Amino acid sequence: MALLSPADQEKLRDSFKEMTANVRLLFFTQTVGCETCLQTRQILDELPPLSGRISVEEVNLVLEKDKAAQYGIDRVPAIALLSQDGEGQGHDSRIRFLGTPAGYEFISLVHAIMLVGGRASILTEGNRQRIASVDKPVTMQVFTTPT
Amino acid sequence: MAFANPNITAFAVEATEYPDLARRYQVSGVPKTVVNDTIEILGALPQDAFVQQALAGLSQAASHEDTETQV
């Protein structure tokens, strides 16, 4: 059963038309000991049918340790967003979601997909320059709850 | 911000599914943003204020990291 209503599907389908680049969602999961992985999988499965530019690739945290380490993922469910160039080569956007992207988090995920998929950033030019001047590694964690 | 600078990595963390992380960073309300484990930004701020706090905190953390322990 679809989680999204037909009306929401249509709205998303329309929004995703703005995308100019392909986006791959790396979905980190494991087969046992993950209560919310199934729900996350169901949510993510709703997206590719809405846009030919969105694909989902499942990564097993246990079996593909190297890949998980490459993206700094040590727990599941987690999602890493990649942009894909013309040759299908993935480029890490360094945007990650830890936990189930339900509720408002789903909206955040959609916005992140659109950004990685080529939609203009909402940053003002001044802020973009300030951010671009950061010259050492920075990790930002934004905590939310599923409301 | 991560998209605007390759040095920046951004995590959206679902606090109820990661209670250990929420505890470690003493998350009592959301949204709460933690930058480099030390700088905390509470609530949703306008863009200018958010960027300013995140980056101002950064240079502060960098200049004090040898002598100060953040609480």
pLDDT tens digits along B1-14: 999 999 999 999 99
pLDDT at B59: 63
SS3 A17: coil
**Are A94 and B6 spatial neighbours (Cβ–Cβ below 8 Å)?**
yes
| Structure tokens that stand for B36 in this block | 């480099």
Which of B33, B47, B55 is the closest to A142 by Cβ? B33
Mean pLDDT score of chain B: 84
User: Taking CB atoms and an 8 Å limit, are A99 and B18 in contact across chains?
Assistant: yes
pTM of the model: 0.91
Q: Which residues contact B16 (CB under 8 A, 6 or more apart)?
A: A99, A145, A146, B22
Q: Which amino acid is at A126?
A: G
Angstrom distances, CA of residue A94 to CA of A44, B2, B71: 18, 6, 27
Question: What confidence tens digit (pLDDT) does each residue in A55-90 have?
Answer: 999 999 999 999 999 999 999 999 999 999 888 899
Please give, rounded to a whole number of angstroms, the shortest distance from the CA of B44 to a CA of chain A.
Answer: 10
Contacts of residue A95 in chain B, CB cutoff 8 Å? 2-3, 9-10, 12
What pLDDT score was predicted for residue B64? 47
What band does B68 get if pLDDT is binned at 50, 70 and 90? very low
